[in-house]
Amino acid sequence: MSMIKVGIIGGTGYTGVELLRLLAVHPQVELKAITSRGEAGRKVADLFPSLRGHVGLAFSEPDPKLLAACDVVFSATPNGVAMQHARELLKAGTKLIDLAADFRLKDPAVWEQWYKMPHACPELLAEAVYGLPEVNRDKIKKARLIANPGCYPTATQLGFLPLLEKGLVEPGSLIADCKSGVSGAGRKPETHILFAEAADNFKAYGVGGHRHWPEIRQGLEIAAGRAVGLTFVPHLAPMIRGIHATLYAKLIDPKADVQALYEKRYANEPFVDVMPAGSYPDTRSVRGANICRLAVHRPAGGDTVVVLSVIDNLVKGAAGQAVQNMNILFGLDETTGLAAPALLP
């Protein structure tokens, strides 16, 4: 097939540079444009020396005509930006993959409640496909507009889905106890993510309400076919990359073979690794890789299921999953450009 012409809106954040790292070596991609109002005219490799010899483009002002000439545009921008470009790009026949939250929530009132701004194109919310391939692969193939999932939602949904799809757990009292590396807060100067603040420190945040909660609940309710009760507590961990989600649910059928359930559910998923019973996946085992590793436990053989789920928040939790969605969208092997193993140490 011919090369896929790709544009990126907002390439200066951590998800943007991770997207560039993956797309620069993708065998079917031709990078055509990378926009940044603040860095327009500056070479990408000058801002990110890690990309020297791989990306020759310079950042440019957003040019609607240049972006509309692309086959697909990734928006790696803050929340509220992609929805400003969506109508124009879709009208031009360009596919849009949004790495922010603009199209993840189906109800515009819920969006406004959590993101404190009116939605610029609520008529597109029904059409937007939630880009979790393990659930929506067939819809992704036909999509014009893909809402790339958040990092916490990816780890949490992949961990809970098999149990809810089969109705094996009580849906009213799910608990997601999640930890994220500092890069999840973005590439911006804020006191709480300074090295002297975040290193050698560990804390919870957003207990009263986090923007990823309605996104996670929305996905889990689709899987369960009914309302779910979810307690979601995120934590900031003193590491750069990674998410570790410890998930708790009460079994309805204590005789259920949950290990076999997970192995069967994800047997054909290239980017979900169900580890042997009794395993403890760690975040460094997925660093730089587009994979979710899962382990399932039943403490003391009781009726509580504990699922351990780890991802790299910038890869399977953001840029890698976006490339996975692009591969599906353009009929490529899903693993194209994403097959490299994790980095260690």
204-225: pLDDT as tens digits: 999 999 999 999 999 999 999 9
- Is the whole-model pTM more than 0.75? yes
What pLDDT was estimated at residue 188? 83
DSSP state letter for 316: I
What pLDDT was estimated at residue 284? 97
Peptide bond into 341 cis (omega under 30): no
Q: Name the 3-class secondary structure at 253.
A: coil
- Render pLDDT for 61-76 as a digit per residue (tens, 0 to 9): 999 999 999 999 999 9
Q: Are strands 4-9 and 72-75 parallel, antiparallel or unpaired?
A: parallel
Q: Are strands 243-250 and 304-311 parallel, antiparallel or unpaired?
A: antiparallel
User: Which amino acids are annotated catalytic?
Assistant: 151
Half-sphere exposure of 186 (CA within 13 A, CB side): 15
Query: Which tokens in the block code for residue 26?
Result: 């993708």
Sequence-distant (6+) residues with CB within 8 A of 115 are: 79, 80, 101, 211
**Alpha-helical segments (H) within the chain:** 14-23, 44-47, 64-68, 82-91, 108-115, 133-141, 151-165, 195-198, 212-224, 258-265, 320-329
Per-residue pLDDT in tens (0 to 9) along the chain, 345 residues:
789 999 999 989 999 999 999 999 999 999 999 999 999 999 999 999 999 999 999 999 999 999 999 999 999 999 999 999 999 999 999 999 999 999 999 999 999 999 999 999 999 999 999 999 999 999 999 999 999 999 999 999 999 999 999 999 999 999 999 999 999 988 888 898 899 999 999 999 999 999 999 999 999 999 999 999 999 999 999 999 999 999 999 999 989 999 999 999 999 999 999 999 999 999 999 999 999 999 999 999 999 999 999 999 999 999 999 999 999 999 999 999 999 999 999
Sheet holding 145-147, edge to edge: 29-35, 4-9, 72-75, 95-98, 145-147, 129-130
191 φ/ψ angles, rounded to the nearest 5 degrees = -55, -45
Q: Measuring CA to CA, which residue among 322, 302, 155 is closest to residue 232?
A: 155
